[in-house]
Structure 1
Amino acid sequence: MPDGWQWDRTLFQGSAAYYERGRLPYAPRFAETLATALGLDGRGRLLDVGCGPGIVLLPMARFVTEAVGLDPDEDMLTEAQRQAGRRGVTNARWVVARAEDLPAGLGEFRAVVFAQSFHWTDRDRVAATVLEMLEPGGAFVHISDLKDPPADPGPLPSPEPPYDRIRDLVRGYLGPVRRAGQGALVHGTPDREDLVIARAGFGPVERHVVPAGDVVDRSADDIVAWTFSRSDSAPHLFGDRLADFERELRALLRQAAAPESGFAERLPATEIRIWRKPQGRA
């Protein structure tokens, strides 16, 4: 887990409504790339741990018999159910639980996915449990934006969102150490998932990079949503100063935006890493 942090049920409290609008999507065709890599053919089951509002699970559902989304935040799952209804996804189910509650009677899976959620868990314990929940040859999947992307290919048509200034504003309200939950402070985010997963008994890593790079326009409302979608600036953390913070945030964005077009960003590439359960292991 992040250094000095213990799980807090308020981690993303109030963020679900902002998540889809605020977060940049994964690269186009990430779902097709993952389905091909795993040989998904409409059979088997997939579990998405820390699924949030279904950003990964919903596009993956068509490749499996059943897709199960697990998250401790009921508001996130309510939003995921709403999105499933809007998209006509009928083979998804939603479970309110933490990763540490696994196996939770959920049965066996062909793939278990963590999309930028594994670092919030007791990683050694969860990886060992996931190994036992997978069918032989099944896959532990980690999805994230590409780390250390290549240099930006050229200028953008509008300014980039002023993320550094937004973080400074958040620190001015919440203090210099990043918050995550009502009383928790985060001093660092763990990495080296490869070492944790190797210790659990998985095979070597298989890596896929799904390209992106399209330029997307971003409004002030989009950037406000991004801010409130994050655990370290979730709405509840500001208490009775929330309205003051949002007012200052919008003033900052007005100063930084292009007069007519707001902001622009490039969609980041998506990195998919896959570890397999050895075939001979039951």
Structure 2
Amino acid sequence: MTWVWDETLYLGSAPYYARGRLPYAPGLAEALRESLGLDGSGRLLDVGCGPGVVALTLAPLFEEVVAVDPDPGMIEEARRRGAEARVSNAEWVQVRAEDLPAGLGSFRVIVFAQSFHWMERGKVAATSRELLTDGGSLVHISDLKEFPPLPTGAAPRPPFDEIKSLVRSYLGATRRAGQGLLPDGTPSGEASVLRAAGFAEPRHLVVPGGQVVKRSADDVVAWTYSRSDSAPHLFGERLPQFEAELRWLLHRTSAAGRFTEVVPDTEVFIWDKGATTPG
């Protein structure tokens, strides 16, 4: 069964996302400022912005930020967090990436933070290049999928493998995504897609993480519900039963309800618009 995007992909996950997910490496904004020569001017477009994590981090580097996401819950949460942070130069728009440009204008930088794989990538890449001003750049951000070692004497890492096994026992062995399944996982190979759209060869940055983060059982529950394959709505009437088992699993791992994680390095590819259009 082939998964097709639908509006329930992250249904109910928005309130849990910012709390459940680890932050990007704290030097991300400074690394982009230096690499792109950002000086507070120009416009940023964050595509698939979720609850606004990256848009709010980068907002001080631009005159204006436009952040788009198809999920109304994510946009509502991003708007709430932006108001709480007193960010006044950000606009939050509920729209699918495939429906851009949507009258939003042109941009100096377009960013995709672990969102590009959910989209019709060829179409979105071509549209993004058209939306960039001359000299503009598309920025692809992700975490390096590694587990840095924990400090000696730290509380244990959350039992991620056991959590995923528990999810599978409720939802089945094949990863869920909205109303469908992802039998082969999320797509990769975005480099070939962006090259085909006419972008120049990328610059590669690795922003070091390594910060030790203390996590509570509530944080780990939030991480579980922030994922598309274990979004709250997928459990239906069994959600209370699932959460009770999840919390018991966490208690078995750490009776004190304390866990430790280490922020991974953040990987960045900067794709400049380039001077030519693919033929």
TM-score, with normalisation over the residues of structure 1?
A: 0.94
* Distance in 1 between residues matched to 2:83 and 2:70, nearest whole Å: 21
Give the AA of the match of 2:189: R
Q: Residues 214 and 66 of structure 1: is their aligned pair in 2 closer, same or farther, counting only changes over 3 Å?
A: same
Q: Residues 101 and 211 of structure 1: is their aligned pair in 2 closer, same or farther, counting only changes over 3 Å?
A: same
Aligned pair partner of 1:182 in 173, 179, 182: 179
* Distance in 2 between residues matched to 1:156 and 1:163, nearest whole Å: 20
Displacement after TM superposition at 1:150 (Å): 8.3
Displacement after TM superposition at 1:216 (Å): 1.0
Displacement after TM superposition at 1:280 (Å): 6.2
Per-residue displacement from partner, 1:47-100 (whole Å, max 9, x unpaired)? Answer: 000000100000111111110010001111111111111111000001111110
Aligned pair partner of 2:268 in 249, 263, 272: 272
* Distance in 2 between residues matched to 1:10 and 1:186, nearest whole Å: 18
* Distance in 1 between residues matched to 2:142 and 2:6, nearest whole Å: 23
Partner residue in 2 for 1:69: 67
Give the AA of the match of 1:264: T
Aligned pair partner of 2:104 in 95, 106, 125: 106
State whether structure 2 residue 170 is matched by structure 1 residue 170: no
8 Å Cα contact 2:2-2:183 kept in structure 1: yes
8 Å Cα contact 2:174-2:181 kept in structure 1: no
Q: Residues 182 and 215 of structure 1: is their aligned pair in 2 closer, same or farther, counting only changes over 3 Å?
A: same
SS in structure 1 at match of 2:156: coil
* Distance in 2 between residues matched to 1:245 and 1:40, nearest whole Å: 46
Per-residue displacement from partner, 1:134-165 (whole Å, max 9, x unpaired)? Answer: 01111011000024x48637546111100000
8 Å Cα contact 1:136-1:280 kept in structure 2: no
> Runs of 5+ in structure 1 lacking a partner?
none
Aligned pair partner of 1:4 in 2, 5, 8: 2
Partner residue in 2 for 1:143: 141
> Runs of 5+ in structure 2 lacking a partner?
none
Aligned pair partner of 2:227 in 227, 230, 237: 230
SS in structure 1 at match of 2:31: helix
8 Å Cα contact 1:54-1:69 kept in structure 2: yes
TM-score, with normalisation over the residues of structure 2?
A: 0.95
* Distance in 2 between residues matched to 1:152 and 1:200, nearest whole Å: 39
Displacement after TM superposition at 1:278 (Å): 1.4
Partner residue in 2 for 1:30: 28
8 Å Cα contact 1:217-1:261 kept in structure 2: no
| Deviates further, 37-46 or 154-163 | 154-163
Displacement after TM superposition at 1:191 (Å): 1.3
Q: Residues 156 and 123 of structure 1: is their aligned pair in 2 closer, same or farther, counting only changes over 3 Å?
A: farther
Displacement after TM superposition at 1:225 (Å): 0.2
* Distance in 2 between residues matched to 1:156 and 1:171, nearest whole Å: 31
Aligned pair partner of 1:263 in 259, 263, 266: 259
Displacement after TM superposition at 1:279 (Å): 4.1
Structure 1 residue ranges (4+ consecutive) displaced by more than 4 angstroms after TM superposition: 153-156
Report the number of matched residues.
277
Partner residue in 1 for 2:215: 218
Partner residue in 2 for 1:201: 198
* Distance in 2 between residues matched to 1:261 and 1:233, nearest whole Å: 21
8 Å Cα contact 1:158-1:261 kept in structure 2: no
Displacement after TM superposition at 1:39 (Å): 1.1
Kindly report the root-mean-square deviation, in angstroms, between the aligned alpha carbons of the 2 structures.
Answer: 1.6
8 Å Cα contact 1:160-1:265 kept in structure 2: yes
SS in structure 1 at match of 2:180: coil
SS in structure 2 at match of 1:143: strand
* Distance in 2 between residues matched to 1:150 and 1:224, nearest whole Å: 19
State whether structure 2 residue 188 is matched by structure 1 residue 191: yes
8 Å Cα contact 1:180-1:186 kept in structure 2: no
SS in structure 2 at match of 1:53: coil
Q: Give the % identical residues.
A: 57
SS in structure 2 at match of 1:159: coil
Displacement after TM superposition at 1:184 (Å): 3.6
Partner residue in 2 for 1:79: 77
